[in-house]
Amino acid sequence: GAMIRTAVLGYGVVGKGTVDIINAKREQLKSKTGQDIDVKYILVRHDYDSDYEEKFVYDFETILNDSDVNIVIEAIGGKHPAYEYIKSALSAGKSVVTSNKELVAAYGAELMAVAKEKNVNFMFEAAVGGAVPIIHGVRNCFEASEINGIYGILNGTTNYILTQMTEYGLNYDTVLKVAQEKGFAEADPTADVEGIDVANKLSILMALAFDKYVPPTEIPTIGITGVTMEAIEAAKKDNCKIKLIAKAKKTDKGIEYSVQPTKLSNDHPLATVSNEFNAVFVTGNAVGELMFYGKGAGALPTGSAVMGDVIEIAKRI
Ligand code: HSE
């Protein structure tokens, strides 16, 4: 088998989780893919205490110019410089795996086209739903069916906050801090709590499911910062829970879409989706309703989705 040399960009929650998985599972990866998969570089901005210090590099050029590197794993987050790095990696004939929803929502179509032209892969399963294989699901499981609707919970941080407020009466600020410590929240949790992270994910799903691109900024979006304990208690009295719901639906008038806190009856399947779990219903004309469920945030769930893509690419190399 060949040698697969990866470079991991960024050493935050996802980057570190991915490096840990590659090192812990090296033998298993070898038997699965027939290839020896290793991390050659980790791109960082400053030094960390780490077992992998000898792999640290500080400028992307080192990675770009090393023809040994066949897969770049982008885990920096944000649009820039992630976009420039990914585009130049693809253009140089390297495959790219990313967990960066903001990036994919903004530049996904363009980067997929560059990958196609260069005959390499651009994969982003980890960008939506963490460990939940929703991207593969939407792309592959509905080939013979038309998708009509998407409905679900797509952010671990806010679902964790709402769950803890509802179940234990804990206050918003305390719980947000815990969500950050657990590695669910973005570096700047504003994107989570204002619903922007969900809008990015919904934009990606709509592009794949409906073949229609709606920029995240054009999705009517309300986050959870206005959800008070009073509102949660009032919902409880009605046997309901408040969940941050992303929805997109084909109608006679076109596609309707939104992200907003929504009161769900306790017997709704999504009302039982707790903490960092995500769950999405996808409705297709031939298949009816499918539900995707699993951990939507955190180092290992997200790292494992990244690795799923890496393994798929390794098998093709
Ligand atoms: N901040 C995101 C979340 C991470 O809480 O869902 C996973 O995309």
What is the model's pLDDT at position 146?
Answer: 93
Residue 127 alpha carbon, nearest atom of ligand 1? 8
> Which of 147, 143, 129, 116 is closest to 280 using CA atoms?
129
Enzyme catalytic residues: 201
Q: What is the mean pLDDT of residues 251-257?
A: 96
Nearest CA to ligand 1 atom 4: 297
pLDDT digits (tens, 9 = 90+) for 223-233: 999 999 999 99
Decide: helix, strand or coil at residue 317.
Answer: coil
Judged against a pLDDT cut of 80, whether residue 220 lies above it is answered with yes
What is the model's pLDDT at position 144?
Answer: 82
What is the model's pLDDT at position 65?
Answer: 98
Q: What values do phi and psi take at 12, rounded to 5?
A: -90, -150
Cα–ligand 1 centroid distance for 302 (angstroms): 9
What is the model's pLDDT at position 23?
Answer: 95
Weakest mean pLDDT among 32-36, 130-134, 273-277: 32-36
Judged against a pLDDT cut of 80, whether residue 260 lies above it is answered with yes
pLDDT band at 179 (very low <50, low <70, confident <90, very high): very high
Judged against a pLDDT cut of 80, whether residue 161 lies above it is answered with yes
Average pLDDT, the chain: 96
Judged against a pLDDT cut of 80, whether residue 2 lies above it is answered with no
pLDDT band at 1 (very low <50, low <70, confident <90, very high): low
Judged against a pLDDT cut of 90, whether residue 175 lies above it is answered with yes
Q: What is the mean pLDDT of residues 199-209?
A: 97
Weakest mean pLDDT among 102-111, 136-145, 169-178: 136-145
Cα–ligand 1 centroid distance for 158 (angstroms): 9
Residue 201 alpha carbon, nearest atom of ligand 1? 8
Q: What is the mean pLDDT of residues 20-46?
A: 94
Nearest CA to ligand 1 atom 7: 297
The CB-side HSE value for 100 (13 A sphere, CA atoms) comes to 31
Query: What is the sign of the dihedral through the CA atoms of 232, 237, 242 and 247?
Result: negative
pLDDT digits (tens, 9 = 90+) for 68-107: 999 999 999 999 999 999 999 999 999 999 999 999 999 9
CB-defined site of ligand 1, < 6 Å: 130, 155-157, 184-186, 192, 197, 296-297
Residue 186 alpha carbon, nearest atom of ligand 1? 1
- pTM for the full model? 0.97
Q: What is the mean pLDDT of residues 33-52?
A: 92
Judged against a pLDDT cut of 90, whether residue 140 lies above it is answered with no
What is the model's pLDDT at position 68?
Answer: 97
pLDDT band at 49 (very low <50, low <70, confident <90, very high): confident
Cα–ligand 1 centroid distance for 298 (angstroms): 8
- List Cβ neighbours of 81 (8 Å cut-off, separation of 6 or more): 60
Cα–ligand 1 centroid distance for 177 (angstroms): 14
